[in-house]
Amino acid sequence: MLSIRDLLDAGTLNVEITAYLLATISAGHSFFVGARPGGVGKTTVMAALLNFIPDIDIVATVNSQVIENGLEDPNFKCFIAHEIGRGRWYAYIWGNDVANFLKLAKKHMIAGNLHADNIPEVLEAEGIDEANLTNLHVLIFMKRTGQRGLTKRRINSIYENQGLNGRKAFKQLYMWNEKEDSFTKLAAPKLITAPELQISRRIIEKIIEHDLRTMEEIRPTILKMVNQSTS
């Protein structure tokens, strides 16, 4: 599995976007990663970003009972759906389970993948509607371009829930310019403050400075530095 450092080296995202995602996810905000085609890298990105979550239990939503138990669980946890979609594979959920999974985001942190390139396509997923979409905090969309051997996998856009209802709640913060292979910031975040973003940027820069590459190296470093910044 690739770490966030591997993704930075590959150009999947840049330091500024990584700092934003660290600040929001380490604060316990829920996120989805989307891409309509398979093989774009959404699972890889989600796994790397799970290094950013607070020091809480991770629970795979392997069946309906796990989700129902989570709705009654008073302890803050991170619930993961490997895929929002029909399938008998591990931690795939759909239909009514998706609606209940999104309810979890009212008292827990959730993370998941789905086949969608944009917000309208997210709303096409069985179990997601304008009302429960607002339970999410950050939507990350991926894109793959190029031919075999020259493939680029990039975070194409990031949307943040800034407090309205349904799809109108989400404002695009970042976009990828395919022609220039660069990222542009479009708006200021509201989920986090400028000082929080600066702290997260220093953490990412420290990871690069000390050449930390594996998840086993990166995870404890992030937890230690995030805890120090909030103590």
Q: Please report, rounded to a whole number, the percentage of residues in the chain having pLDDT higher than 70.
A: 100
Is residue 114 within 8 A of residue 133, CB to CB? The reply is no
| Helices 194-209 & 15-26 angle (0-180, nearest 10) | 120
Q: What are phi and psi of 44, to 5 degrees?
A: -60, -45
Give residue 155's pLDDT.
98
Taken in order 200, 205, 206, 208, the sign of the CA dihedral is positive
| DSSP, residue by residue, 14-76 | -HHHHHHHHHHHHTT--EEEE-SSTTSSHHHHHHHHGGGS-S--EEE--SHHHHHHHHH--S-
Q: What is the largest CA-CA distance in the chain?
A: 48
Q: Which CATH class is domain 4-230?
A: alpha beta
CA 50 to chain centre: 8
pLDDT of amino acid 45:
97
pLDDT in tens, 179-215: 999 999 999 999 999 999 999 999 999 999 999 999 9
**Residue that is written with structure tokens 């795979």 in the block:** 60
Whether the predicted pLDDT of 9 surpasses 80: yes
**174 within 8 A of 155, measured Cβ to Cβ:** yes
Grade residue 146 by pLDDT with cuts at 50, 70 and 90: confident
Tens of pLDDT, residue by residue over 16-50, are 999 999 999 999 999 999 999 999 999 999 999 99
Mean residue pLDDT of the chain comes to 95
What pLDDT score does 229 carry? 84
Predicted pLDDT at 88: 86
pLDDT at 141 over 90: yes
Predicted local distance difference test score (pLDDT) of residue 97: 97
pLDDT of 87 reads 87
- pLDDT exceeds 90 at position 123: yes
84: its two tokens = 């929002």
Give the pLDDT mean for 108-116. Answer: 97
Q: What is the pLDDT of residue 195?
A: 95
